[in-house]
Structure 1
């Protein structure tokens, strides 16, 4: 199988690392030359995401596209892949299930338009199929430097250390412990490396048999447990924690927006998504199909912080 990985940031490099351990051939599509990746033996093709001819040329003979780019570049990539007879497309949707998102989602970042484009090409005479990999929250959001330290999510506004739930190094937290219905707020999580392993294991199942969505899980915990475990791994001292009631989230968002505190706006929007259980995967379907034993959140915390 020939695979194209669109993007050259941290997530794309993780996918490349694990695919490189298989017999599959792959190329990395990058806006600029990446000599550090070429030095690893990876084939890097410099592409212009605004040039359909260039994209179609570089996608010739590709069976599977795995995208880590978003917005208009991804829409252009989808169009080029379909015209180039790519059989399956994996969009940059490595979070919660799209079905959990509300209309006019403030966290959309162009993803709804990309999914609409994929649906468009799935109904053609020679359809291009797509599969979403839903994995919840990355453990690395709680790492030193956050996801940004791995070059992931740099355009989202929530990739920095402390942008989601807590800053373990600083010992601070901003959380919503319960939903509006009074239930404990729960999130599903996985490490970036285990996502790569799940993806490669899924490829071994034959992408032509994939469903429209795979979901996977490394761990599933309440927000209160996530905070408690972080405090424990840092010596047991309680964090300076702001517990926001679910009914107060809208007011916090309005306040931050009024004062143009966009960093806080992003944080509160993520808390609203968490309260809505958009990152909660109850019955992940990929775990049972592949032989991947993901690291638990506690073991990841100990390895990273203890």
Structure 2
């Protein structure tokens, strides 16, 4: 086996470089980018990680290795795509056979050239060493190809599951419209009042809005409810007040949103020292005059961007399915 560049491995297993980099990061393998090289040990670690996390949340049923159903639109039947995997058999000559051939060649040379017995033994030993090295090299290549082949199968299965999940996400998005999640600290301050005003403005603009006071019902498990609402939201509006700076719950909500991939728009409700864990995000200043057009414009920008990405990915997967049929 040998080291290989990340982008080369992505080409071999027919997977996006970004996907492979994400899997490397999740498996604890640090690389600098697509041009970085990974060792055989890291490839084995990556394979084990992908096998453990191959299932994708949001799919109705597990996909088989041989086929997967992909919805092409609302009300239409699913399309089945067959995936054929061919394994290449490699026959390796045994060490004894190679050594016997080397000895036969050496004996023929000795009979014709009349070299000394010592030189003949030396040649035999050299030939046997070369035969053993060749055999080891062939075995290493077989093991390397086998491992890369397994990676191809696992990654193909994950990509097919993700394609079905993306199609479902686009359909749900088009049916349910735009949804915003408002995160804030309940402290009776101007920040809490601003959260109520933001909810009202977004609802007037046609958004479905979740805010914990109005969205939680008696008997709900609040943590699971918040996680479920975040997963179905298009954007999070974070109202930043003094209490938010030290609120672990708000911090957890923001971390969960970023992990899911939901854009977060911080809105300053009052003059406070900006939290360190939010310094990577640009904020809107609503401490003085409130310009609702700025907030609505930022939200629509992120929502439309998400819709374009989902539509593009869906069309891409559907085109690939049509070409395979």
Shorter-chain TM-score: which interval? Answer: under 0.3
Higher helix proportion (structure 1 or 2): 2
Instruction: Return the TM-score normalized by structure 1.
Output: 0.23
Return the index of the structure with the highest Cα Rg. Answer: 2
Structure scoring higher RCO (CA < 8 A, sep ≥ 6) equals 1
Higher strand proportion (structure 1 or 2): 1
Instruction: Return the TM-score normalized by structure 2.
Output: 0.22
